[in-house]
């Protein structure tokens, strides 16, 4: 039997518990023994009761908790060979030769060392007679899986690390709050965020909050100009009516000679050069704290499961790998490769070689920096004389999705910056028919980065008959050269129809971009749509509360979530909340399933379970409705638990967009404007949808779009996330009998 040790080390990060839970449950499911090593490497060096055998229930009730319940520490002993010798002894005396290490680059460096030295450590333990000679044959090598747990997102080998998304939530919440007080007093705020020498948190939070200036270590401002430039931008902003000024500064910010730029220095500059009262807020450890976001819970779950999967495959014995994510795919990269690249970036920054630092951070980072530099400008600069100025219209269509405003703001500002005239079409396709079209200037979208809903207004109208003529006439009248439609399923249908009608109405031949904005995440040509992450977090927060409300009362909740016949929200919501069961239209629901589920719940409650949650996608099955399932469960399980229903309804559509949705929206808006510009140069321009596919932004032509759409069910034919069902099922499996109670972290 394989024995796996799991530990969390270095700085704690929200999501670490979800990863530990996944390693334990996935390990048990696949037939391994899993040990939690408490207090990081210190527990490995000390041994004794710091290394505990885990069972299914040991990791119950921890998915939603911040920090790490198995503890973390900085351990000096482990830096020395002697400490690692003791650690190896403690592992070997329990037969553990597989490790899952959840931590930052320091922790993973330590793990790499242990892996490299393993053979010699084993030899030394045999020679000093601390372990019997046959141990060398039994455990010839150590296998290490590294999961990057760090809010800083400063390590190569993964697009994003465990904890970074949650940290962005904490930062955006704080900056949104500061913006309103800053606006009230017309004040400037300097907000310092974490990240050590990585500007990721600063850069992404600046995009997400619509900040007015950002300072990151990878791209310091020019020495002699930056203070004047920053003050100029902020001054101009004030002159055109901006009431709040927010400067985000990374804790590692520096000038081009490597001298630190502190938040107090920026404050001083604002007070002396701008003559404004400025306040400094250092966000500090709140960025690490609190419940993990939906994204971090699911990311950590997938990482933990993938680490165990790799170990159990026997194909990586003796290797040290980092488990990461690229796009939506889990990847494995040799640990030494990741550490080498990470150190190269650190060195480049230390040696003031900023070009290399930006290059190594990757194209997404560089593009995001370009985007923020444009967005912070108080007013667009003068267009290049040779550049053709276009009239680009933007509208929302279909149901409201959080993030729509963010997209419109970014598109309008980026378009204006490139010398175009930007038009807002109010009230969706109806507005286009009713000529509800206005020019949008830089300040007309001020503050839209972070507000939910749709300021332009939206509806689900799909044009028919004479509508096409009316629309074609209005497009002509307003001399619209290109159109960006931000919305859901009916927006896509309408756009394709308009495009097809160019045969009859030539003015409908303008290039169109369909931009995926829907909480349901049911659109073709993109693995994710703007709004889905916000809705998912809404579900997770609501279910966390529901669970808390009922923990003492032996209850089963049947929770209905939105999504039409697309089960994305239901499945991802179930995975992020630890729901026992999820009902999806894609899988269908049968009476046999329901009977089996209620029997499993009854047997769970008989064995001491106190709470159950099942999530039902609203379109799962019209007959087996929430009422039906609730009544069935109450009838069959009434002796053991009571049943309550919750329909989350429009709570999922409301709310301010999450940082993920704001960043995705802003970055795709930029790509959309660029695409429209390019198409306007062509004699026969194309129309397309934009989307996130395999980690990059791609366009799908209207020629291909219809065959990717499952019209009958209102969802794409390819639903990538269905592949995640086995992991979700494993995590939700009931605890097997007999239940071992000695190592419980919690009792539920
Ligand atoms: P993080 O993992 O968040 O980067 P640290 O750099 O503090 O945090 O590392 C956490 C722990 O990992 C250290 O306390 C130490 O026990 C171990 N560690 C870090 N660097 C090394 C190293 N070069 N060799 C051995 N162990 C190390």
Q: What is the mean pLDDT of residues 58-84?
A: 96
8 C-alpha to ligand 1 centroid (Å): 11
Residue 456 has pLDDT above 60, yes or no: yes
Closest CA to 219 of 369, 351, 341, 368: 369
Pocket lining: 110 vs ligand 1, CB cutoff 6 Å: yes
For the stretch 209-234, pLDDT in tens is 999 999 999 999 887 788 998 999 89
Q: Judging by beta carbons within 10 Å of its beta carbon (0-12, 13-18, 19+), is residue 590 exposed, middle or buried? A: exposed
In the block, tokens 């009608």 appear at: 501
The model's confidence at residue 385, banded by pLDDT at 50, 70 and 90, is: low
Instruction: Name the pairing type of β-strands 696-701 and 688-693.
Output: antiparallel
Which two three-digit tokens encode residue 358? Answer: 């930006």
Contact 171, 290 (CB under 8 A): no
If you take atom 20 of ligand 1, which residue's CA is the nearest one?
106
- Contact 75 CB / ligand 1 (< 6 Å): yes
143 - beta bridge partners?
98
pLDDT tens digit sequence for 238-275? 888 777 889 999 999 999 999 999 999 999 999 999 99
What pLDDT shows up at residue 182? 72
pTM: 0.95
Residue 378, pLDDT score: 73
- Is the minimum distance from the CB of 644 to ligand 1 under 6 angstroms? no
What are the backbone angles phi and psi of residue 130, rounded to the nearest 5°? -80, -25
Ligand 1 neighbour 416 (Cβ under 6 A): no
Q: Kindly indicate the confidence band of residue 380, based on its pLDDT and cuts at 50, 70 and 90.
A: confident
- Residue 386 is predicted with a pLDDT of 58
Side-by-side strand order, sheet with 278-282: 213-215, 245-250, 188-193, 278-282
- CB-facing half-sphere around the CA of 190: CA atoms within 13 A: 23
Do residues 626 and 558 lie in contact, with contact meaning Cβ atoms separated by under 8 Å? yes
Query: 10 CB less than 6 Å from ligand 1?
Result: yes
How many C-beta neighbours within 10 Å does residue 670 have? 22
**CA 522 to each of CA 125, 526, 531, 562, 576: distance values in angstroms, whole numbers, following the listed order:** 57, 9, 11, 11, 19
Residue nearest to atom 7 of ligand 1 (CA): 10
* CB of residue 9 inside a 6 A radius of ligand 1: yes
User: How confident is the model at residue 222, as a pLDDT?
Assistant: 80
- Contact present, 419 and 383 (Cβ < 8 Å): yes
* pLDDT tier at 608, thresholds 50, 70, 90: confident
- SS3 state of residue 459: coil
pLDDT at residue 743 in the model: 42
Locate the ligand 1 atom nearest the alpha carbon of residue 105 and give its number.
4
Residue range 409-446, pLDDT digits in tens: 999 999 998 999 999 999 999 999 999 999 999 889 98
The answer, yes or no, to whether any atom of ligand 1 lies below 6 A from the CB of 109, is yes
Mean pLDDT calculated for residue range 175-201 = 88
User: Using CA positions, which residue lies closest to atom 22 of ligand 1?
Assistant: 110
Of 7, 8, 10, the residue with max ligand 1 atoms within 8 A of its CB, to mutate for a pocket test, comes to 10
As a whole-number percent, the residues of the chain with pLDDT over 70 amount to: 97
Range scoring the smallest mean pLDDT among 441-445, 499-503, 732-736: 732-736
| Residue closest by Cα to atom 8 of ligand 1 | 10
| pLDDT for residue 341 is more than 80 | yes
Q: Compute, in angstroms, the gap from residue 587 CA to the centroid of ligand 1.
A: 45
Is ligand 1 within 6 A of the CB of residue 205? no
184 pLDDT above the threshold of 80:
no
The sign of the torsion formed by the CA atoms of 461, 467, 469, 473 equals negative
How many Å is the maximal CA-CA distance in the chain? 91
Cα(278)–Cα(284) distance, rounded to whole angstroms? 19
| pLDDT band at residue 551 under the 50/70/90 scheme | low
Which tens digits make up the pLDDT trace of 306-340?
A: 999 999 999 999 999 999 999 889 999 999 999 99
* Structural Rg of the chain based on CA atoms: 27
Distance 75 CA to ligand 1 centre (A): 7
8 Å CB contact between 349 and 197: yes
Tokens representing 640? Answer: 């053991």
Q: Which residue's CA is the closest to the ligand 1 atom numbered 26?
A: 110
Mean pLDDT, residues 398-405: 96
pLDDT higher than 70, residue 581: yes
- How many CB atoms sit inside 10 A of residue 317's CB? 13
By annotation, the residues acting in catalysis are: 152
């Amino acid at each position: 039997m394989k024995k796996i040790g799991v530990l969390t080390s270095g700085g704690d990060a929200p999501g670490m518990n979800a990863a530990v839970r996944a390693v334990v449950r996935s390990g048990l499911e696949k037939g391994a023994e899993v040990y939690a090593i408490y207090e990081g490497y210190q527990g490995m060096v000390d041994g004794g009761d710091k290394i505990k055998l885990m069972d299914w229930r040991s990791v119950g009730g921890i998915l939603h908790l911040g920090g790490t319940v198995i503890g973390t520490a900085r351990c000096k002993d482990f830096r020395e060979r002697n400490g690692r010798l003791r650690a190896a002894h403690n592992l070997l005396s329990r037969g553990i030769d597989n490790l899952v290490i959840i931590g930052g680059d320091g922790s993973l460096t330590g793990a790499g060392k242990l892996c490299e030295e393993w053979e010699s450590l084993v030899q030394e333990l045999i020679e000093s007679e601390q372990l019997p000679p046959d141990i060398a044959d039994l455990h010839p090598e150590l296998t290490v899986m590294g999961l990057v747990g760090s809010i800083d997102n400063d390590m190569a080998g993964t697009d994003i690390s465990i904890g970074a998304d949650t940290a962005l939530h904490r930062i955006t919440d704080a900056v949104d709050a500061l913006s309103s007080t800053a606006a009230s007093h017309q004040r400037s705020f300097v907000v310092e965020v974490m990240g050590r020498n990585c500007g990721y948190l600063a850069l992404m939070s600046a995009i997400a909050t619509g900040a007015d200036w950002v300072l990151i270590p990878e791209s310091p401002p020019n020495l002699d100009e930056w203070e004047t430039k920053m003050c100029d931008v902020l001054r101009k902003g004030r002159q055109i009516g901006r009431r709040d000024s927010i400067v985000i500064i990374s804790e590692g910010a520096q000038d081009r000679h490597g001298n630190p730029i502190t938040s107090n220095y920026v404050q001083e500059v604002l007070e002396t050069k701008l003559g404004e009262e400025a306040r400094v807020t250092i966000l500090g450890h709140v960025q690490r704290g609190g419940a993990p976001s939906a994204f971090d819970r699911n990311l950590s779950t997938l990482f933990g499961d993938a680490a165990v999967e790799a170990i159990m495959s026997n194909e990586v014995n003796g290797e040290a790998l980092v488990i990461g994510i690229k796009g939506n795919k889990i990847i494995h990269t040799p640990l030494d490769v990741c550490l080498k690249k990470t150190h190269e970036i650190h060195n480049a920054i230390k040696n003031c070689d900023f070009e290399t630092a930006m290059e190594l951070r990757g194209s997404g980072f560089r593009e995001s920096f370009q985007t923020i530099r444009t967005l912070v400008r108080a007013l667009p600069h003068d267009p290049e004389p040779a550049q053709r100025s276009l009239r680009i219209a933007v509208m929302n269509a279909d149901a409201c999705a959080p993030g729509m405003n963010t997209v419109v703001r970014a598109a309008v500002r980026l378009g204006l910056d490139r010398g175009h005239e930007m038009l807002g079409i109010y009230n969706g396709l109806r507005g286009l028919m009713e000529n509800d079209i206005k020019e949008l200037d830089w300040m007309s979208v001020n503050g839209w980065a972070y507000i939910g809903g749709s300021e332009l207004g939206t509806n689900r109208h799909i044009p028919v008959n004479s509508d096409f003529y009316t629309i074609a006439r209005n497009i002509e009248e307003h001399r619209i050269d290109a159109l960006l439609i931000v919305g859901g399923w009916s927006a896509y249908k309408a756009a394709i129809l308009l495009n097809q009608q160019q045969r009859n109405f030539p003015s409908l031949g303008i290039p169109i971009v369909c931009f995926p904005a829907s909480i349901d995440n049911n659109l073709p040509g993109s693995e994710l749509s703007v709004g889905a992450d916000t809705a998912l977090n809404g579900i997770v927060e609501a279910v966390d509360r529901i669970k808390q409300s009922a923990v003492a009362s032996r209850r089963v909740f049947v929770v209905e979530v939105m999504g039409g016949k697309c089960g994305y929200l239901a499945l991802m919501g179930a995975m992020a909340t630890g729901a026992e069961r999820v009902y999806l239209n894609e899988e269908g629901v049968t009476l046999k399933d329901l009977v089996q589920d209620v029997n499993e719940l009854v047997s769970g409650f008989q064995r001491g379970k106190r709470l159950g949650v099942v999530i039902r996608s609203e379109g799962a099955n019209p007959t087996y409705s929430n009422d039906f399932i609730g009544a069935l469960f109450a009838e069959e399980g009434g002796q053991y638990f009571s049943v309550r229903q919750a329909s989350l309804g429009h709570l999922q559509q409301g709310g301010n967009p999450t940082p993920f949705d704001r960043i995705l929206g802003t970055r795709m808006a930029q790509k959309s404007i660029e695409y429209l510009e390019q198409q306007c140069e062509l004699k026969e321009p194309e129309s397309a949808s934009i989307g996130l596919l395999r980690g990059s932004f791609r366009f799908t032509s209207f020629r291909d779009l219809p065959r990717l759409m499952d019209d009958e069910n209102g969802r794409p034919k390819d639903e990538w996330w269905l592949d995640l069902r086995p992991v979700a099922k494993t995590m939700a499996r009931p605890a097997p009998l007999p239940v071992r109670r000695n190592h419980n972290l919690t009792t539920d």
